Structure 1
Amino acid sequence: MTRAPDRDQLLVLTPHPSGAIPADVLRDMLGEDVFDEDKRAAFLRRVFLEGDPYTDLIYAVPGARSLQAPWSRFVVDLNRDRDDVVDNGVVKMMDFDRHPLYPEGFALTSEAREARLRRFWDTFDAGVSAELAGARLMIVGHSMASHGPVLGPDTGTPRPALTLMLGTDAEPTFPRDRWDALQAACEEAFAPVLTGDLTRVAVGDPWTTDTLSRSHHARTGIPAFGIEINVALYYGEWGVVREGALKELNAAFGRFADAALGLV
């Protein structure tokens, strides 16, 4: 296999692939049920599937720099600003279908919240900054539900096959004059896996901006963008991966990453 000569100047982030939760946080979430194997396993499966499952595999590009989060987004959401205290902010009390993550009456103190942010958010943020030194491009890899969830900007609406989050016209995180070329490159790279109702490659639908891209582009000036893959491209049914799909998507993303590098 021939590696693109400048992949070492690409940083790929996957902030949400994990379903792991550290034991102290898991005990806050489950209480004494943390010691019940079936309940614990069911809860961990739930948070894994409500993250961005398998994105660590889909976005693994040989030769590129890579940083993936080791913990679930429901511990701390690394694609949120550190001071984002809204309902779907950096520390979530509910999942995307509005089901509570903690027992009734649980309250996270401001001291415990800050300690969690120092432990997880700050560590990842420092890692991104270190990996970006000498890079030319950062891509943040996500997956999205096939339809908008209860907690979302597009509840119940069918979503495109792929979405590129490039910022806004006023504040692009990837050069504005290359958006069309990037979208075309994405369509070409993923063409072999786009079928049926899942053929549209969108820009800014349903989200315009990836928070990690916005934040680190503002700090460094390095072009950055997020990409969302519709989970229906790899699930035969909810939670069941179609045979060969992850490998196909990974190959498509590799082609796209090389093309994106050629545009910066």
Structure 2
Amino acid sequence: MSTGKFPTARLLRCYALEGKYEFLRLLRTHSFVLPSLLFPAMFYLLFGVVLGARRGGGELQAYLLATYGIFGVMGVALFGFGVTIAIERERGFLTLKRALPMPPGALLFAKLAMAMIFATIISLILATLAATLAGVLLDPAQWLLLFAVNVLGVVPFAAIGLCIGTLVSGQAAPAIVNLVYLPMSFLSGLWMPLSVLPDAIGRFAPVWPSYHLGRISLAVLGQEDSGGVPGHVAVLLATTLGCFLLARRQLANAEQVGPG
């Protein structure tokens, strides 16, 4: 249905309501909310606050603030899209949504808005822990830029999650997402600096989109050459576009084949 059939006010209301109910639905899903919000904070408390204080490394605590923010963002995007899309596609919910008199793209907008809201919450939790317990000192501009990187960083991983959700069953989706999420986080240096990991991991780290988003965050803190930021952004944009096009093709093929 063309969006031209919707008055602007009604169109905005459709998007707002869809986003609101998607957020509330996942907020009531404890298996999603608790790991998404608690794991980045718990890891930062352990490695950034406790171990960072023992090593006396303010630089390490700032590093982990940036990388655990990316770790949290990845989780809400991959699970929020990968698992929910797979389940909704398998149960025919996506087909039902297409049949309803609602603007196209409202469902994806709602899921993206949901992921960005959770990314905002994660960023605020980590910033509070870093500023109060870890003693991380950043300029106001750095705090804002770090926050922006986290929230906008949802997009490429939402596209990856969308791609996964269109390729696998609802039952398999959680396992597949974990197989992507956890190794990618470790191998791209989000859990600990690449300098303390084997050289082979560091050489292959640029393969992962999480590495590039992490480098952008570290550039905000001055721990990475800012001259490489355009290249990292280009990789993330290419990842987003490629995964989105693949997911779109899968959904189109599934629609042609039909639910049977």
TM over 0.5: no
TM-score by length of 2: 0.30
* TM-score of the two chains, using structure 1 as the length reference: 0.30
Larger strand fraction of residues: 1
